[in-house]
Chains A and B, each alone.
Chain A
Amino acid sequence: MNIVTCFKSTPDSKDIEIKSDGLLSLEKAEWIISEYDLQAVETAVKLVESSSGKVIALSAGPTNISNSKLKKDILSRGPDELYLIIDNRLCENDTYATATVLSKAIQKIGPVDLVLCGEGSSDLYFQQVGLQVGEMLGWPTINSVGKIEVSSDHLVIERDLEDEVEILEVYLPAVLSVTTYINLPRLPTMKEIIKAGQKPVIEWSLQDLNLSDIKTGVEVISLKAPDQVGRKNITIEAEPDEAAGLLINYLSNDGVI
């Protein structure tokens, strides 16, 4: 089974700076693998380990995603190859545009049986791209997949909804978005980290996908830090009994205990 596992590269939210005018700056942010996509990668690697085929990692974004640390990081987690679609117009994070690019890339990559995506990105968490990729490819697609079992020519999956679990039969090729708790992604071993440097990385432009431009569905009008609730910011540094007593007094005066 050949599996494409899509991942997003995102600026680390810890590094977001709020400027004096309330606008956000991502200039100093390190680009990392979006946290919840690691579960999709792990799912793909496990499925291939227990059958055959290969795992192909795929991401699209601005030139920031083409850095050696990020490439090594994703490949050390088990994928055999990495495809990156790079264009600076891919930074507005419009899900329609992202899904268009990913689905074109999947078609170009060749025979693919299964595409796995994370539940949502750790920065925007729109939870849309996997579903849109599936719809664009015309393949069966579903979200919130908590378990996947291979059963001869199809998959049996558990879909974890708010108040029920559905057991579904899915025929391939298909696009599935997995939950944040489907597994616990392994940490790369030293051996895998060294091996990662030798794995193939293929970089494509939009032109390589025969896309002259990318159509976006929405336009971002503004991006600002929310108005912060004023907090008292009282720091208590004292012996345990004294600190506990002080906190209880404060909370009691606030009427919350």
Chain B
Amino acid sequence: MATHEVWAYSEKPAFLAELIGGARVLAENLGGSIVAVVIGPRTEAEKAISLGASKVFLLDKNKESTMVEDYVPTLANLVNEQGPSVLLFGATKRGKAIAGRLAARIGTSVITDAQDFIYDQGQLSVRHMIFGGGAVRIEKALTQTLVATIRAGVFDTPIIDESIMGEIIEAHYVEPAWRMSCLEHREKKLTTSNLAAAKRVVCPGRGISKREDLALINDLAQVLEAEVGCTRPLAEGLDWMPRDHYIGVSGASIAPDLYLGIGVSGQVQHTVGIVGARIIAAINKDKNAPIIAQADYGIIGDLYEIVPSLIKFLKARK
């Protein structure tokens, strides 16, 4: 068998750099080499080499095709031809779409949100979280090629070294059977939320009875110098807060010094997003609410009485 190849692809250049860092760790363990896939300009392929890829498949952007998703048949062709051991995809929406469709073509499943790779006695397996973070599942591929998606921040970006040599191979474009035409691109306004980097996060949940009461939460956040997040129902359903503010399995994951949940019940779909918090505090009128069992400090009581007291004392401390 040929040497093991670890392939990396992301449509985001910074993400691809991280994946090349991950591929390097894996290639060292497997005794293999790093291969990058680039859909775009040759300069990106050259950059991938100086980040450590010994080979780059360059899929030059076809004029007809406006979406990287159109390259799935081309990628599948390459994978079938070359038989890599591992394919790493950046876990963006596009990355997931390409990985899933490619996996279907080569007869396998994608191991999503891989956290780390275990290499033991010639066997590669992957650890990832399921049940909204409630469980860790270890899986191995039953096919020659293991396909995994990786979240941003799991691997370190290698340092660029211009002296690294590698080859760039232009891949043959396979015309897709269907194509979606993109009528328009709309840039999204960048989020004003800074949850991911926040030191303190105040998080209201369904215990808040009406939208106007969020003013009370904002007052507390201001005096605590905290960002405001929320649980899913407040952002999707009630639409009281922007979608990018909600914390949980399908939303943001945060790791602040302090998380303060206010009227949050503590369902696992939410709490998976706060496991990284150093201190978890919660205010809930129900002492049996799951959040209390998962908190460092749980105040049992009416948030409409306790939050004003907190604001009063915190202001007095200043």
Contacts and interface: CB of A to CB of B under 8 A. Distances in A.
B120 to A, nearest CB: 10
Given A96-B103, A131-B97, A218-B109, A224 B135 contact: yes
Contacts of A217: 103, 107-109, 141-143
Interface in A130-148: 131-132, 134-136, 138-144
Interface string B60-96: 0000000101001000000000000000000011101
Interface in A65-122: 94-97, 99, 119-120, 122
Interface stretch (A43-51, A52-60, A194-202, A245-253): A245-253
B221 interface: no
B interface: dominant SS = mixed
B240 interface: no
Contacts of B310: 244, 247-248
Interface stretch (A1-9, A168-176, A203-211): A168-176
A16 B290 CA distance: 13
B214 interface: no
Interface string A214-257: 01111111111110010111111110110111011011001111
A138 B129 CA distance: 30
A229 B275 contact: yes
Interface string A140-166: 111110000000000010011111111
Q: Choose among A24, A124, A218, A234 the residue with the greatest number of B CB atoms under 10 Å from its CB.
A: A218
Nearest to A242: B309
Report the contact-size class of chain A (Cβ under 8 Å from the partner): 35 or more
A95 B100 CA distance: 9
B93 A143 contact: yes
B41 interface: no
A247 B202 CA distance: 14
B268 interface: yes
B101 A13 contact: no
A236 B269 contact: no
A140 B132 contact: no
A216 B136 contact: no
Interface in B81-140: 92-94, 96-97, 99-101, 103-105, 107-112, 125, 129-140
Given A167-B186, A251-B281, A220 B138 contact: yes
A190 interface: no
A128 B103 contact: yes
A250 B108 CA distance: 51
Given A161-B94, A165-B188, A248 B296 contact: no
Given A219-B140, A234-B296, A122 B96 contact: no
Interface of A: 13-14, 16, 24, 35-36, 94-97, 99, 119-120, 122-128, 131-132, 134-136, 138-144, 156, 159-171, 180-181, 184, 215-226, 229, 231-238, 240-241, 243-245, 247-248, 250-251, 254-257
Rank and list the top 6 A-B pairs by shortest CB-CB distance, nearest first. A217-B109, A217-B108, A131-B100, A244-B309, A135-B104, A240-B305
Interface of B: 67, 69, 72, 92-94, 96-97, 99-101, 103-105, 107-112, 125, 129-143, 177-178, 180-188, 190, 199-200, 224, 232, 235-237, 243, 249-250, 257-258, 267-269, 275, 278-281, 287, 292-302, 305-306, 308-310, 312-314, 317
13 contacts: A96-B109, A125-B130, A128-B100, A132-B101, A163-B188, A166-B185, A169-B183, A219-B139, A231-B296, A244-B299, A244-B310, A248-B314, A250-B281
